[in-house]
């Protein structure tokens, strides 16, 4: 009887423990189901998930990009022409975010505007900056909260940023938009990067945030802005918040902050091997073509770009051993004729026609440069794109101009080279497509073909240059 009572007590104790366990489990499940998930309204959710392969979805196109342009009603009238160079009504998607409602009628040719939300509640303690940095940092959040469908990338830029949209689409199309990406580039001036960090995607040059990263970013952004109240710019603040999420900058060198003073000729004539995506600070720099206004220059470059976006500003090197000539072609922009044999390593360096953005000093920069020599015999002869003469997908013409170096060399080899009036660059209609940029980058090869119009002395006034893909085992130098 004693043994039976002990078994009964143990069994009762087991029942009590089991009942307590199931009660705790039930309460836990009840608590879990009654909690509201941290989520956004249904209009803000993706129709696809991050685990879905990007290969099962159509390629990225212009409709998948939402632009957020940092603007001001005070500067828009002056800067709208820059945006209208690349904006395509009813095709491009995005908004200009302004500080107040404009008094005048907003032009139909411009991106539509939205007045930014009030930011007076946020802290800003950078003594040399402007509180507008908070408003600019929040553009990505306010763009996200519009809840627009089918957005893969949020692209930020300034109202004096010129985007080259087809190239931008091709660059972003290389990446899986279902992953968290922060894509852009930093400053050309080392001093700027030391202040604002190399990991920051500069807002003037533009940067892109993938939708999954935007989901995480907008959740923490407002609180994060107060944590980084001491930072100067909106792009700095966004970088700090993206860093808290753990996402680094994916650098694409076709985004150009253009943190330089002076002529950007050297920078553009030796463009990196990457698609041209953006140009910034066009308001602060002289025209890229010396005989035009800034807007005329940009339209001329855009004319070439529209014909062959991927090849624009891409540099090729040619040699004419019979005349000891070296030729650098920056397609759609300029040709440099060296009346001597120069190496590709030298020609791919930028002539330093500029100084640093902040201190107006001679560097350093984030790329190699070479000095502009006062002796004209140590400088090439320059030719600039001449769309009037002829420009199509097969041929482009470049006319000699003296407005950059302003001096001529009296040596015999220079006198012969100076008889050249024009270069005609032929590509035979072979476009530099997006497929080129998916492969490992390689410069195109080119060859010099004597022209048919002779000006005497065995030198042609028009020199034809053929640009084409390199053959197997072919090098830049013959």
Whether residue 169 contacts residue 62, with contact meaning beta carbons closer than 8 Å, is answered with yes
Whether residue 435 contacts residue 453, with contact meaning beta carbons closer than 8 Å, is answered with no
Packing angle, helices 211-227 and 234-245, rounded to 10? 110
Beta-bridge partners for 260: 356
Distances (CA, A) of 454 to 49, 400, 419, 457: 65, 16, 9, 8
Closest CA to 447 of 463, 429, 462, 459: 463
Whether residue 112 contacts residue 90, with contact meaning beta carbons closer than 8 Å, is answered with no
Can you give the pLDDT at residue 101? 94
Can you give the pLDDT at residue 43? 38
Which run of H or of E encompasses 13?
Answer: helix 2-34
DSSP 8-state assignment for residue 189: B
Q: What secondary structure does DSSP assign to 347-376, as a single string?
A: HTSEE--EEETTT--S--BSS-EEPPPSSG
pLDDT in 10s for each residue of the chain, 478 residues: 444 455 455 545 555 555 555 555 555 554 444 443 334 343 344 444 433 444 578 999 999 999 999 999 998 999 999 999 999 999 999 999 999 999 888 999 999 999 999 999 999 999 999 999 999 999 999 999 999 999 999 999 999 999 999 999 999 999 999 999 999 999 999 999 999 999 999 999 999 999 999 999 999 999 999 999 999 999 999 999 999 999 999 999 999 999 999 999 999 999 999 999 999 999 899 999 988 999 999 999 999 999 999 999 999 999 999 999 999 999 999 999 999 999 999 999 999 999 999 999 999 999 999 999 999 999 999 999 998 877 888 899 999 987 666 678 889 889 889 899 999 999 987 888 888 888 888 899 999 987 544 445 556 789 999 999 888 888 888 7
Find all residues with CB under 8 Å of 33, minimum gap 6, and list them: none
What does the block give as tokens for 53? 């392969």
What does the block give as tokens for 455? 């000006």
Closest CA to 88 of 58, 108, 113: 108
């Amino acid at each position: 009887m004693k043994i039976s009572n002990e078994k009964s007590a143990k069994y009762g104790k087991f029942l009590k423990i089991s009942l307590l366990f199931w009660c705790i489990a039930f309460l836990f499940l009840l608590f879990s189901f009654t909690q509201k998930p941290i989520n956004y309204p249904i209009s803000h959710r993706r129709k696809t998930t991050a685990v879905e392969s990007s290969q099962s979805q159509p390629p990225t196109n212009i409709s998948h990009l939402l632009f957020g342009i940092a603007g001001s009603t005070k500067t828009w009238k002056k800067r709208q022409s820059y945006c209208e160079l690349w904006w395509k009504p009813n095709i491009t998607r995005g908004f200009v975010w302004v500080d107040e409602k404009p008094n005048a009628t907003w032009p139909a040719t411009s991106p539509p505007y939205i007045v930014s939300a009030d930011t007076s509640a946020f802290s800003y303690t950078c003594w040399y900056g402007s509180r507008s940095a908070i408003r600019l940092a929040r553009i990505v959040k306010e763009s996200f909260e519009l809840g627009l469908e089918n957005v893969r990338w949020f692209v930020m830029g300034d109202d004096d940023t010129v985007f080259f949209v087809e190239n931008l689409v091709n660059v972003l199309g290389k990446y899986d938009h279902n992953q968290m990406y922060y894509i852009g580039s930093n400053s050309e001036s080392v001093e700027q990067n030391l202040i604002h960090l190399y990991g920051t995607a500069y807002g003037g040059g533009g940067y892109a945030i993938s939708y999954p990263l935007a989901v995480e970013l907008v959740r923490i952004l407002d609180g994060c802005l107060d944590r980084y109240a001491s930072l100067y710019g909106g792009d700095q603040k966004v970088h700090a918040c993206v860093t808290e999420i753990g996402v680094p900058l994916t650098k694409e060198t076709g985004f150009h902050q253009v943190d330089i003073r002076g002529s950007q000729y050297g920078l553009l004539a030796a463009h990196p091997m990457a698609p041209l995506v953006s140009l910034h600070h066009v308001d602060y720099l002289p025209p890229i073509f010396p005989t035009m206004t800034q807007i005329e220059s940009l339209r001329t470059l855009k004319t070439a770009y529209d014909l062959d976006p991927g090849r624009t500003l891409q540099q090729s090197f040619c040699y004419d051993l019979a005349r000891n000539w070296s030729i650098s072609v920056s397609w759609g922009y300029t040709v440099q004729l060296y009346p001597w044999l120069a190496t590709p390593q030298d020609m791919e360096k930028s002539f330093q026609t500029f100084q640093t953005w902040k201190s107006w000093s001679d560097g350093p920069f984030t790329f190699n440069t070479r000095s502009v020599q006062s002796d004209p015999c140590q400088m090439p002869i320059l030719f600039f794109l001449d769309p009037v003469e002829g420009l199509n997908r097969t041929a482009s013409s470049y006319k000699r101009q003296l407005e950059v170096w302003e001096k001529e060399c009296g040596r015999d080899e220079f006198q012969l080279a100076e008889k050249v009036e024009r270069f005609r660059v032929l590509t035979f209609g072979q476009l530099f497509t997006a497929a080129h940029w998916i492969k490992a980058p390689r410069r195109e090869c080119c060859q010099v073909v004597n022209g048919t119009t002779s000006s005497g002395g065995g030198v042609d006034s028009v020199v034809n240059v053929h640009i084409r893909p390199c053959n197997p085992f072919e090098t830049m130098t013959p």
